Structure 1
Amino acid sequence: MATKTDVGATVLATCESEKHAMSQPISTDKMSWSEQIKVLKTSKHAVLAAFGCSTTPILIGYDLTLIGSIIANKEFVKHFGVYDGNLVAWTLPANRQLIWTVIQFVSAILAAFAAGMLNDHFGRRICFFMTVGLTVAGTIAELLSPNWKVWIVAKLLMGAAMGSMQGNTQTYVSEITPVEVRGFALSLFQFWIIVGQLIASCVLEGTTRISGPWSWKTAVVTQFAPAVFCLIIFIPFVPESPYFLVSKGRIDEARASISHLRKGEPGVDIDEQVRIMEDTLSHERQEKAQASSYVECFQGTNLRRTMLACLPIISQLFFGYPLCGNYLTYFLTLSGVDDAFLITVISVVCSLLAASFAFFLIERLGRRPQLLGGMYGMLICLLVVSLLGFLGRGLLWNSRCLAAFCIIWALFYFVSVGAVGWTVVGEISSSRLRAKTTAIAAISSSIFNMGWSIAIPYLVNTEEANLGPRAALIFLGFSIPLTIVTFFALPETKAKTFAELDYLFESRTPARKF
């Protein structure tokens, strides 16, 4: 059995080899904007592959926005609800909405767990098709549901698609992109979620003008379009992950995959790239001869890497996204803001711009400063929103300030934890355990997402806790300690190869000395 000294020495040698094998090595620590564009052009085939590989989040962004808004559609309520003789109106019982929410997120948790194993057994490419297939099946089930019980089946399928997507996408992207463009590629995840949200918001606004059952069915049917888009972008441009192929001993296929991804890049030695992948995987197996398991993610230095992968994902939910993101329209409406839907659309558009800007910041600033900077900004916004819950409620200036700071919060969120969160997940884990570590992060996301989806309506509803903007205080209470933990625990992963990260973690290097 190799000693830790032997492993460390071998990893250092691999680091040097990997640096040497890169085509035109460029220090990404201080790249100018023009240099970043040049790197993207040089690695255009890998970037295009990452672009296609990361499109599946558009499906989930669309579905989550759809289910959060369609429950207000009168025809939808009539189809799946009950007639209330006292109110002389159709209503959708809260218990049915709760069942749909719980089923979808429990399904996502189980699917994310399964995705960690399926990724390692069947490959990343098959799991991509599985995600799209589950979305199509869920859409068909939604469209044909005769009652609320069959809609449960639809939510089961859509939840499975969500878990599969979260457990696969960032693993796939991180393994098909060179280190120079890895941060940019991984930040596409949140970009596509926002695109899905924006499309769904516009479609839902348009379908309000349709009468009859097709006022909600049209919004459901349009989910097929993003699914087709994903396949069109993915099939011709994205090969199987070379890391997966090397791990299975399919070396010739790995060479072909690397050749496709690094086509046109001067100085790329494909055989050397394959050898580096073999060495990296070999180092991680030296003390674990058996197949990887979820238990390993919580042993030794892998425990630190697993916790760090979950940290930014949990932060996404505890920094206010359930309030100022998922339930923004509902929250603003109950807080007395006029044109809440318009404010939501403006917020989504600003979010898209922020996520686009984050592409270039992520390789210039780095993951750590970008994440912390956004956290500081969100803390201020949450504090202001909380104060607005106590001062001038019901007044025009209060409503305008509330809407403004929710939009400002969105800018900070999507330029930081929104974009960087899943980037860290894709980089921080070991190569051999990446699929399973990503799955654990996805599971943590689904668990807390489910909890907040249940809690938010009760916190802000006028018939329940009626906190309104004061609900931001709860998120403020969580976000302060999370910011402190992030400051001391999260290392910088920018411009570091997987072999370098392995060595730094195995050496138990403190976060701020990475």
Structure 2
Amino acid sequence: MVKESLKDIVFVRSDRHDIGYVLRICAIAALGGILFGYDTAVISGAVESLQAYFHLSPVEIGWAVSNVLLGCILGAAGSGWLADRFGRKPTLAVSAALFTGSAIGAALATGFTSFVVYRFIGGVAVGVASSISPMYMSEVSPKDMRGRALYMEQFAIVGGQLLVFIVNYLIARSASEQWLMTVGWRWMLGSEVIPCVIFCIAIFFMPESPRWHVLRGRDHDAMKTLTRISNERHARSVLTEIKDSLEHKVEASALGRAVSSRGARWIIFVGAMVAMLQQLTGVNSMMYYAPLLLGSVSGSVQNALFQTIWIGVASVSGAVLGSWVIDRKGRLPLFRIGSIGMIIGLLIASWALYTQTQGYSALMGMLIYMLLFGLSWGPLTWVLIAEIFPNRIRGVGMSIAVSANWVMNFIVSQLFPMMAQNHRLDALFHGALPMWLFAGFTLLSWWFVERYIPETRGVALEKIESVMLTPKRRRTAAGMAPATPPADGLTDLAGRK
């Protein structure tokens, strides 16, 4: 393993990257994130209608929401192989087609079984998009703007969630309960077709990842994209770095397969843990069941759906703020601030539910939680798992980490309504118990990050492995903190700005 220090880094001037081009192609990839957010959150407005229409028990309600997550697990698990075999762009095209078919089928479902099947297909699409979109964005973004580019994924996810909260409210605003139960939920689910079609068309305007081209031996195609991103000199130096990182895998296997294998397993473990801990903070229980949670303190279904919009607004606001500071302050400070704020928000919301305080106290706690989650754990999880894996294991590593995220999402989403609607627990805690558990897991998540996650700001993808495999104490003593990108437009010797 090669160790590097700040004193080994020399900065020289270079032409600027075509930031507009990078942001445009990342924005197309981020449309997968919009559908990710839209598809997973659209169920929130339809939960009570589905329960009445199909006569579902609390366990079946949990299944109606969480079955899609099993599809997510399958999609994420297979996404790495698909992306490495066929490319990032074709794999995203497959997910777009699955999104479209799922939205149409679920909206027209006549039985609970067919509804579950179509939602499962949508889950496969979400699993693929949640893995490949951030992977693609990390591979086309220069290192000093990688954080901002990947924040587009989180912004897209929460933007999709906010959009569907607004759509659900507009559909339900003047509707009767009978209409919502029989027809309204179909309009909510079917509304996803519009962003699906946009995504299907936009994919044709994005290039393939240059790192995938190198993996397939198509250096000429990689050079075309890299040159379009910046300039020919920069493109050649980056191409050399990518090829060297792949050749290093062969050398490492020849010199010490066991050491290399342990290192790869450790990085995958860390990525999977971060992905699972994100779900244990309880965010998707807020997203999927917010109207159900707020129903007891808001007065009506319409009021609960309207208040849910503000949860989406808080999440988007946090993502916007985070995108502005991530490449200035780094990943770890945002994790610290976010974890503390999320715990405070959860405690406020849980107290309002426990005491059955009418008004906006519960909503206020949820808003604080979602604002800080949108600033920290929401986007930073996707940023980290998109950038910590070496090129040689990125497809497999992303698949495992994202699958772990969806497995934990499924467990939490299935158990939450069983706890929230348990008569004995509800009589004792009024829905506050899950919030207390989430606060405890958020504290655990903060400890794990402090203990095992290095700062990755300003580190090239080809250099991250050495940072990940050096314990924090040794890394600090060796001066291996990542380089801070210069403010005056300087670049390193590799030509990366």
- Partners of 1:504 and 1:66 lie apart in 2 by 39
- Residue identity in the other structure for 1:272: S
Q: Does 1:404 align with 2:364?
A: yes
Residue 189 of structure 1 corresponds to 153
Question: Which whole-Å deviations, capped at 9, do the CAs of 1:62-93 have from their partners, x for residues lacking one?
Answer: 122222321323xx567x52xxxxxxxxx334
Structure 2 residue runs of 5 or longer lacking an equivalent are 482-497
Residue 271 of structure 1 corresponds to 236
- Partners of 2:296 and 2:342 lie apart in 1 by 22
Residue 215 of structure 1 corresponds to 184
- What is the Cα deviation at residue 511 of structure 1? 8.2
Select the residue among 198, 205, 228 that pairs with 1:260. Answer: 228
Select the residue among 192, 207, 210 that pairs with 1:239. Answer: 207
Distance 1:456 1:298, change over 3 A: farther
Q: Is the 8 A contact 2:59 2:417 kept in 1?
A: no
Q: Does 1:414 align with 2:351?
A: no
- What is the Cα deviation at residue 150 of structure 1? 1.4
Distance 1:381 1:254, change over 3 A: same
- What is the Cα deviation at residue 136 of structure 1? 1.0
- Partners of 1:400 and 1:385 lie apart in 2 by 10
Question: Which whole-Å deviations, capped at 9, do the CAs of 1:143-162 have from their partners, x for residues lacking one?
Answer: 33221221122022111111
- What is the Cα deviation at residue 315 of structure 1? 2.8
Question: Which whole-Å deviations, capped at 9, do the CAs of 1:158-184 have from their partners, x for residues lacking one?
Answer: 111111112211111110111121000
- What is the Cα deviation at residue 464 of structure 1? 4.9
Q: Is the 8 A contact 1:429 1:437 kept in 2?
A: yes
**1:417-428 alignment runs, 5 A limit:** 417-428=377-388
Select the residue among 195, 203, 223 that pairs with 1:226. Answer: 195
- What is the Cα deviation at residue 352 of structure 1? 1.1
Question: Which whole-Å deviations, capped at 9, do the CAs of 1:24-78 have from their partners, x for residues lacking one?
Answer: 5xxxxxxxxxxxxxx7x842111211111121021121122222321323xx567
Distance 1:450 1:233, change over 3 A: same
Residue 276 of structure 2 corresponds to 314
Residue 27 of structure 1 corresponds to none
Q: Does 1:453 align with 2:392?
A: no
Residue correspondences, number: 463
What's the secondary structure of 1:429's corresponding residue? coil
Q: Does 1:156 align with 2:125?
A: no
- What is the Cα deviation at residue 107 of structure 1? 2.0
What's the secondary structure of 1:495's corresponding residue? coil
- Partners of 2:440 and 2:370 lie apart in 1 by 19
Residue 66 of structure 1 corresponds to 42
Q: Is the 8 A contact 1:367 1:494 kept in 2?
A: yes
Residue 265 of structure 2 corresponds to 303
Residue 28 of structure 1 corresponds to none
**1:466-481 alignment runs, 5 A limit:** 466=426, 467=429, 468-481=431-444
* TM-score using structure 2 length: 0.85
Q: Is the 8 A contact 1:112 1:442 kept in 2?
A: yes
- Residue identity in the other structure for 2:21: H
- Residue identity in the other structure for 2:186: K
**1:374-385 alignment runs, 5 A limit:** 374-385=338-349
Select the residue among 458, 462, 467 that pairs with 1:495. Answer: 458
Q: How large is the Cα RMSD of the aligned pairs? A: 2.8
- Residue identity in the other structure for 1:57: G
Question: Which whole-Å deviations, capped at 9, do the CAs of 1:405-451 have from their partners, x for residues lacking one?
Answer: 21111111101111211001111111111121111111111111111
* TM-score using structure 1 length: 0.83
- What is the Cα deviation at residue 324 of structure 1? 3.3
What's the secondary structure of 1:187's corresponding residue? helix
Question: Which whole-Å deviations, capped at 9, do the CAs of 1:189-237 have from their partners, x for residues lacking one?
Answer: 111111111221122222234648543332233211111222344322x
Same amino acid, percent of matched pairs: 21
- Residue identity in the other structure for 1:273: V
- What is the Cα deviation at residue 121 of structure 1? 0.9
Distance 1:66 1:297, change over 3 A: farther
Distance 1:218 1:506, change over 3 A: closer
Structure 1 residue runs of 5 or longer lacking an equivalent are 25-38, 82-90, 290-294
- What is the Cα deviation at residue 507 of structure 1? 4.8
